[in-house]
Amino acid sequence: MRVALLPGDGIGPEVVEAAVRVLEVVAPDLEYETHLVGGAAIDATGAPLPDQTREACLSADAVLLGAVGGPKWSDPRAPVRPEQGLLALRAALGVYANLRPVRVIEALAARSPLRPERVLGVDFLVVRELTGGIYFGSPRGRDEDTGELRAFDTMVYSRSEIARVVELACRFAEGRRHHLTSVDKANVLESSRLWRETTEAVCAHHPSVHLEHQLVDSCAMRLLTHARDFDVIVTANLFGDILTDEAAALTGSLGVLPSASIGDGPRGLYEPIHGSAPDIAGKGVANPVGTIASAALMLRHSLGRPEAASAIELAIDRALGRGALGPDLGGELGTAAITDAILDALE
């Protein structure tokens, strides 16, 4: 099976290299192709997602990405930006659901900004709708019809867009603790009212799943006070973007959390949730755990190797439990040393 590697920008190449080291142990038969994306692709070709990269990803069995962006390309008015490459790649691959598992093990509980007793044992999955909502709605723009400059965006969802991501979330809930929390803003937004109606219709076909509705502001509070109550959370694009970054703080660092973007087929896009961290790029101190855990998700969801995925995840837990912590978690180990510790745990 073939994996397209997109190291990207900043610390991306360092953490992708670490993930490949681990993959070579648990799945030595995988083949890899490395291609440009993001700012590195803009510098080399003028496009954030070159045609060669796009075609390679479409012909691969899975895509593993590092990170995109950085100060060099940060002008929001620039016609070409690294993030456009990521959005175009998601559209090309047909992935519409972003999976972000959040799990706090004992070794990380003391690193959380919350008290350990509030986060120890937290284990939930956020399923974020990825291709609709306010990020893609039309119309959007600016006008001066009222005599002053205004800017506007539109939050649009169709029933089918909602139904497919909720159906996916229900299936994950059936494989976990059978509890689904749907997050919306139905007391204010018409799009959220359609979201709530559609969610109830889909969940009616999954009688073993207990459905709970939660307003997004209330959910944001509960993530800090009762995070252990959550099992699977499904929500719209904007709400999921915000809530998953908040949830990441429960673990004490963005550097340890993975993500998977999937659709109807087996091929998916896998990446850590952290950014390109240009301030530490090239220093050998980036935390590779999020990318290595993303590789485990890739093995499970796209490559059909759940045993190898579980082996990596168990090795990560053991390595962290033995003190394999980087500066982001108050430790002193660098990228290579943390990867070595995970490989030792695998053995």
For residues 35-46, average pLDDT: 97
Domain borders along the chain are: 1-104+255-347, 112-251
CATH (residue range 112-251): 3.40.718.10
Question: CB-based contacts of 216: which residues, under 8 Å, 6+ apart?
Answer: 183, 184, 185, 235, 239, 242, 243
Band (pLDDT 50/70/90 cuts) for residue 146 is confident
Rounded CA separation 235/130 (Å): 10
Given 9, 157, 184, 185, the catalytic residue: 185
Given 135, 153, 317, 340, the catalytic residue: 135
245 is catalytic: yes
**139: cis peptide before it, omega within 30°?**
yes
Q: Whose structure tokens read 């169709």?
A: 158
Given 61, 123, 153, 241, the catalytic residue: 241
283 is catalytic: no
Type of residue found at 256: V
Side-chain half-sphere exposure of 316, counting CA atoms within 13 A: 28
What would the pLDDT profile of 265-274 be if each residue is shown by its tens digit? 999 999 999 9
72 is catalytic: no
pTM (predicted TM-score): 0.93
Given 43, 72, 143, 217, the catalytic residue: 217
At 276, is the secondary structure helix, strand, or coil? coil
What would the pLDDT profile of 237-254 be if each residue is shown by its tens digit? 999 999 998 998 898 888
Given 143, 229, 245, 279, the catalytic residue: 245
User: 316 with 289: CB under 8 angstroms?
Assistant: yes
What totals of helices (H) and strands (E) does the chain contain, helices first? Answer: 13, 12
Superfamily grouping for domain 1-104+255-347: Isopropylmalate Dehydrogenase (3.40.718.10)
